[in-house]
Copies of this chain bind each other. A is one copy, B any other.
């Protein structure tokens, strides 16, 4: 594990501990490395909308959470300034969705990260591009060994 990946892991642990929303949606943080995060979530009954498919808000939330862990992996407090999502295929009740977010560009403060949401068959459900803004210092103190 590189130093950058160790920092990413520490930052993620600090974020995850206080993230009620991500936990309440039943998300699991599969992996996080420098500039990349993968999160999974199962579509529950309380996530299904009037068309019988997963509410776009939860698909966005999964992509957005992966984005949040990826863009905070530098261990600097970073928030979403905006995002664009394209919905490509509906997700259904019981589907196991995976959101992977990866760094496209990171400036001093502003960054771009792409998240892709796939289902258990490997089909792409949504493409997401997020704009991040770094607004503060370290999320957590990294202890030198």
Interface size on A, residues (CB 8 A): 51
A18 sits at the interface (CB 8 A) = yes
How many copies of this chain sit in the oligomeric assembly?
A: 4
Contacts of A79 in B (CB 8 A): 51, 87, 90
Contact check, B64 vs A61: say whether CB atoms are below 8 A apart. no
A77, closest chain B residue (CB): B51
Partner of A49, one of B22, B51, B58: B22
Whole-angstrom distance between the alpha carbons of A21 and B50 in the complex?
A: 8
List 20 additional contacts besides A17-B50, A19-B55; criterion CB under 8 Å: A15-B51, A18-B49, A19-B49, A19-B50, A21-B48, A22-B50, A49-B68, A50-B68, A51-B77, A56-B68, A56-B83, A60-B64, A79-B90, A82-B84, A83-B85, A84-B84, A86-B131, A88-B107, A88-B112, A131-B131
Of the A-B pairs whose beta carbons lie under 8 Å apart in the complex, a sample of 15, sorted by A's number, is A15-B51, A17-B50, A18-B50, A18-B52, A20-B49, A21-B48, A21-B55, A22-B49, A22-B50, A56-B60, A60-B60, A81-B86, A82-B86, A88-B112, A127-B129
